[in-house]
Structure 1
Amino acid sequence: MKIEIWSDVMCPFCYIGKHNFEKALEKLPFKDEVKVEWKSFQLDPTLNASEAISTIEYFKEKKGVSEEQAKQMMQQVLQMGKNSGIDFNFEKALITNTFPAHKLLHLAKKYDKCSQMEEALFQSHFLNGENVADTETLISMAESLGIDKEETRQALTSNKYDYEVSQDIQEAKNHGVTGVPFFILNEKYAVSGAQPVELFKNALTQTYQETVSPHKNLSNGENSCDTDGYSI
């Protein structure tokens, strides 16, 4: 069963959604039959990758709110994070263009390490206050997951994965996605937002029962013909 997840590194609800989704999946008997595919999405592609500003400053400029209002908005997300086991550090988090981070995700996908890289990027941005557009920071992250340093540098400094990132973003538009996280469950159902664990669990179970379980072979294969002849 395939689960596609559109997400952006600087979206706190994407981090919460990832944790809740993974907690739900861990409780399901068919978890080993689920393949997760992370997709790129940019909340603000107008940002400059060579610059980084604090979360407070970004909210003040982007939302046109006061510093106090920005802090109140973040306080609500802080509590949601704690409920999901995440201690957001918005005071350190740096807002920048996340396109380079998405290129790194596509490189990680090549080695089947996309989920691990997604987690590493979230931690880097929300917990460690690192610049997720900085080439050396991203290279270090890749090395920690066993991905070659020079291959990572080439991926980040060339346009090698630009098309893949852009395709993910275009695909999101084709699906009508305007916000993240956004989950498509085996091409049948969609779940948007950082939903509670129980909702993910129920949605995954329903999708599995309707799209996978009915096709499972309930017999032992006896009394049939196959490419090796009769099976009796």
Structure 2
Amino acid sequence: MKIEIWSDVMCPFCYIGKNNFEEALNKLPFKDEVQVEWKSFQLDPSLDPKQTQNTIEYFREKKGFPEAQATQMISQVAQMGKGAGIDFNFEKALITNTFSAHKLLHLAKKYNKSNEMEEALFIAHFIDGKNVGDTEVLVSLAESLDLDKEEARQAVTTDQWDNEVNQDILEARNNGVSGVPFFVLNGKYAVSGAQPVEAFEEALQQTYKETVSPFKDISGSSGASCDADGCSI
């Protein structure tokens, strides 16, 4: 069963959603049959990749929120994060353009390490206060996952992976996705937002039942039939 997840590195609800989704998945007997694919999405592609802002500055200057309102919102998100096992460090988080981070994510996908890279990017941004638009930071994250240093540098400084990132963003737009996280379950159902663990668990079970699991016999009794060992009445 394939799960596609559209996400942006600087979206706190994407990190919360990831943790809740993974907790739900780990409870299910078919977890090893699930393939997760991370997809790129940019909440604010207008940001200058050479500049950073702290979270309060960003909400005040880019979104027009009064500082008190921005502070209250951040506090509420931090509380939600604790419920998902995340200690957000919004005081240190640096808001910047995430396009290069998404390019690195696609490189990691090439080596089946996109989930590990997504986690590493979230930690770098939300916990460690690192600039995830900075080339050296991204190369260091790649090295931490045993990816080749020079290949990572080329991935984030050239247009090698631009088409893949843009294709993800276009696919989201064509499917009406305007916010993240956004989960597509085996091409049949969608789950929007950082849902509770129980909601993810229910959605995964329903999707598996309807698209993967064998047919359910609703006849109520065993009728006459034949199998490889012969026929019975």
TM-score normalised to the size of structure 2?
0.92
Kindly report which structure 2 residues correspond to 1:10-21, keeping only aligned pairs within 5 A, or say none.
10-21=10-21
Residue in structure 2 matched with residue 22 of structure 1 by the alignment: 22
> Which amino acid letter does the alignment assign opposite residue 24 of structure 2?
A
Residue in structure 2 matched with residue 5 of structure 1 by the alignment: 5
Residue in structure 2 matched with residue 56 of structure 1 by the alignment: 56
Kindly report which structure 2 residues correspond to 1:21-100, keeping only aligned pairs within 5 A, or say none.
21-100=21-100
Residue in structure 1 matched with residue 220 of structure 2 by the alignment: none
Q: Percent identity?
A: 72
1:180 aligns with 2:185: no
Residue in structure 2 matched with residue 212 of structure 1 by the alignment: 212
1:109 aligns with 2:109: yes
> Which amino acid letter does the alignment assign opposite residue 66 of structure 1?
P
Q: String of CA shifts for 1:12-54, please: whole Å, max 9, x gaps.
A: 0000000000000000000000000000000000001011111
> Which amino acid letter does the alignment assign opposite residue 69 of structure 1?
Q
> Which amino acid letter does the alignment assign opposite residue 140 of structure 1?
S
RMSD across aligned positions (CA): 1.2
Kindly report which structure 2 residues correspond to 1:192-203, keeping only aligned pairs within 5 A, or say none.
192-203=192-203
Q: By how many angstroms is 1:223 displaced?
A: 2.2
Provide the rounded CA distance (Å) in 2 between the counterparts of 1:125 and 1:52.
12
TM-score normalised to the size of structure 1?
0.93
Kindly report which structure 2 residues correspond to 1:130-209, keeping only aligned pairs within 5 A, or say none.
130-209=130-209
Q: String of CA shifts for 1:173-216, please: whole Å, max 9, x gaps.
A: 11100000000000000000000000000000000000000369
Q: Secondary structure at the match of 1:97?
A: coil
Q: By how many angstroms is 1:84 displaced?
A: 0.4
> Which amino acid letter does the alignment assign opposite residue 62 of structure 2?
K
Provide the rounded CA distance (Å) in 2 between the counterparts of 1:157 and 1:93.
23
Provide the rounded CA distance (Å) in 1 between the counterparts of 2:152 and 2:127.
23
Q: Which runs of 5 or more residues in structure 2 are unaligned? A: 217-226
Residue in structure 2 matched with residue 223 of structure 1 by the alignment: 228
Provide the rounded CA distance (Å) in 2 between the counterparts of 1:173 and 1:89.
31
Residue in structure 1 matched with residue 224 of structure 2 by the alignment: none
How many residue pairs get aligned? The number is: 219
Q: String of CA shifts for 1:123-171, please: whole Å, max 9, x gaps.
A: 0000000000000000000000000000001111110000000000000
Q: Secondary structure at the match of 2:147?
A: coil
> Which amino acid letter does the alignment assign opposite residue 40 of structure 1?
S
Q: Secondary structure at the match of 1:151?
A: helix
